[in-house]
Amino acid sequence: MKFKGELKTEFDDFARAISDVLETDVIITDADMNVIGSAFQYFSLYQDIKIGSLIAEVFYDNRDVLLEHKREKESCRQCPEYHNCKMESFVGVPIRRDLRTVGVIALILPKDRGKALFKKIGSTVTFMHSMAELIASKITDSQYSRIIEAKNDELKGILDAHDAALAYTDFYGSILFVNEAFRKLFRITEPVLGTRIQELFPYKAFQETFQKADRKPRMVKATMEQSQFFGIINIKPLYEHRHGTSMLFTFRRYSEIQKESVQFTNGSYITFDFLEDICDTELIYRGRDYARENKNIILVNTDDGEINELLAKAIHNESSRKLKDILIMHSSSIYRDYLCEYLFGEDGLLKNIHDGTIIIHYPERMQIYYQERLAEVIEGRKKQRESEPVRIIFCTDQNLEERCQAGLFSWGLYDAMKDQTLRTGRTIHTDSALFCRYAENMIDYYCRIYKKTKMELNITAADYKQLMKLEINELNIQLEMAVRNNGYVAAKTELQGMSSREYELKTIRELLEAGKTQREICARLSISRSTLNRRIAELRK
């Protein structure tokens, strides 16, 4: 492959040869209307070839253009530079390659020279066609070289943008290319082009790869303590040619593989659509706004800890960070220094999650000393103006402002989160319509998994209010028991101090007193006739 400067010199030589023979100015262009060769005896003004010019006409019409007098050409007469132009005559022939125009040879002639040349125009055009055939292959090669060079640059850009560390070698293991991820992973600052990959990584797997003539894809589990690489190496043959098969090595750490799988962990699919039966529309709209606005510090402050966590997960999953890490931390002063290490240490959350989300439950349970330290970290990151630092979502059912006023919470930490607060809207604990809709949906769900027909709930007015006060997880247990017991829901107070056996006996007594038959009771409680007889015998004692 020749360099651009070498090709330009070669085309200039062709132009000079034509100019010496015909005693004219000569311009050679390529398919992009770029002047790639020229020789001037009279003028030196023609370097910028425009659409609509005579040279462009030769190229786009793919035909010879012979013009003895420029006044004969309307496009010349309309040119703003017509009166200043020293050219009188023009001869242009296309340079063709496989019936495709790849360039133009043009003769630029002054008045006296044009008259003499057009007396023998036939032989002139024949000579120019012969020169065009010689130049055609050279132009094609130069265009192909530029295309290959551009494609190589494009391919390198694509590989550099790849997150995985990649190394491309020839048949013998000599490195032809490594991407930026590879250099970063193995801390390589020196050029490695031509270095044998077996020398960089003197491991058995690499040696075996290049000892075998038959190259097959393989996956290797690697532990490279020297370079601190612990992960998977994929070795894949890519391209066969006369010198053998080139190889692509892909390096992926176990930690990277684990991070990519975080989107499939439990709870990662929670979105605001899932919460429509639990929270009111206004609360969901505000949560979606926080997700879209990419707020870095958020306080979720409803009356239910589990709803808080669901809202926090929904904010993460409907934001630009949805494929990044999400980690949940439950605060407690009982952990003492362990909490400090887990949150602030070198291997802690704040230093190792760069653009993911940390959900911190009950920050008021954290020591005030660490609350203040966390506030300082948040303030420091604001000053650094990081493009997309870690998002921290605090979840609590407590009134943090009141705790600050009582000296039980850090004002600095509260100030950092108070402007982005998702406060209590209407939830299933305060809105009877939401509660009924949620309860019906959960009943339908439990009927499906227990393979029962849809049923109506039997809830007294007193129990109804009591159930609305239950945390969502306890409420779900009660609704599941209702399906198992064919529609009867017990309030939490009814179950206090009562075993499941006692609860079952109580239910059987109530059904018998209501006049239900043994068959109906067995169907309702999902028990056998013999079990029911034993329970009735216990009741008679």
- Is 270 within a domain? yes
Predicted pLDDT at 410: 92
Cα–Cα nearest to 313, from 273, 352, 345, 349 = 273
- Is 526 within a domain? yes
Which amino acid is located at 225 in the chain? E
What are the pLDDT tens digits along the chain (541 aa)? Answer: 343 444 456 788 888 888 888 888 888 888 777 888 888 877 655 555 554 578 888 888 888 999 888 888 888 888 887 777 778 889 999 988 777 788 899 898 887 788 888 888 888 888 888 888 888 877 766 656 566 666 777 778 888 888 888 988 888 888 888 898 888 888 888 888 888 888 888 777 777 777 776 677 777 777 666 666 777 888 888 876 665 678 888 888 876 766 555 544 444 567 888 787 777 788 888 888 888 887 788 999 887 788 888 889 988 888 888 777 788 888 876 677 777 788 888 777 787 777 788 999 899 988 888 899 889 888 887 776 554 578 899 999 888 999 999 999 999 999 988 888 888 667 777 777 778 878 888 888 888 877 777 766 666 666 667 777 777 777 877 787 777 766 555 544 454 555 556 767 877 887 788 788 887 777 666 677 777 887 888 887 7
Would strands 297-301 and 391-395 be described as parallel, antiparallel, or unpaired? parallel
Domain of residue 226, CATH code: 3.30.450.20
- C-alpha 143/C-alpha 158 separation (Å) is 22
Whether residue 248 is found in the same domain as residue 324: no
Whether residue 17 is found in the same domain as residue 85: yes
- Is 504 within a domain? yes
Name the domain boundary from 257, 292, 326.
257
Binning the chain into helix, strand and coil, the percentages to the nearest 5 are 50, 20, 30
Cα–Cα nearest to 302, from 455, 478, 421, 470 = 421
Predicted pLDDT at 265: 47
Q: Which two tokens stand for residue 30?
A: 């390529």
Instruction: Report the predicted TM-score, pTM, of the whole model to 2 decimal places.
Output: 0.44
Domain of residue 321, CATH code: 3.40.50.300
- Is 429 within a domain? no
Residue with tokens 């039980």: 408
- Is 55 within a domain? yes
What is Dmax (Cα atoms) for the chain? 136
- Distance from chain centroid for Cα 136: 45
- C-alpha 435/C-alpha 288 separation (Å) is 22
- Is 154 within a domain? no
Which amino acid is located at 44 in the chain? S
- C-alpha 271/C-alpha 233 separation (Å) is 36
Whether residue 419 is found in the same domain as residue 271: yes
Whether residue 410 is found in the same domain as residue 280: yes
- Is 157 within a domain? no
CB neighbour list of residue 132: distance below 8 Å, 6 or more residues apart: 93, 94, 95, 96, 105
Three-state DSSP string of 151-177: HHHHHHHHHHHCCCEEEEECCCCEEEE
Whether residue 21 is found in the same domain as residue 135: yes
Whether residue 272 is found in the same domain as residue 331: yes
Whether residue 344 is found in the same domain as residue 442: no
* Angle between helix 432-449 and 461-469 (nearest 10): 90
- Is 135 within a domain? yes
- Distance from chain centroid for Cα 256: 14
Name the domain boundary from 90, 123, 147.
147
Whether residue 8 is found in the same domain as residue 136: yes
Name the domain boundary from 423, 457, 484.
423
Whether residue 415 is found in the same domain as residue 446: no
- C-alpha 255/C-alpha 353 separation (Å) is 12
Three-state DSSP string of 391-423: EEEEECCCCHHHHHHCCCCCHHHHHHHHHHEEE
- C-alpha 516/C-alpha 522 separation (Å) is 10
Q: Which residues make beta-bridge pairs with 218?
A: 235
Whether residue 347 is found in the same domain as residue 414: yes
Predicted pLDDT at 461: 60
Whether residue 167 is found in the same domain as residue 273: no
Domain of residue 79, CATH code: 3.30.450.40
Whether residue 251 is found in the same domain as residue 272: no
The kind and range of the H/E element at 37 are strand 35-39
Cβ atoms of 502 and 478 closer than 8 Å: no
- Edge-to-edge strands, sheet with 421-423: 326-330, 357-361, 391-395, 297-301, 421-423
Number of domain units in the chain: 4
Predicted pLDDT at 405: 92
Q: Which two tokens stand for residue 523?
A: 């169907």
Predicted pLDDT at 404: 93
Q: In which domain, by residue range, is 169 found?
A: 162-257
Cβ atoms of 35 and 47 closer than 8 Å: yes
Would strands 25-30 and 35-39 be described as parallel, antiparallel, or unpaired? antiparallel
Which amino acid is located at 176 in the chain? L
User: Cα–Cα distances in Å, from 229 out to 162, 171, 186, 224?
Assistant: 18, 25, 8, 5
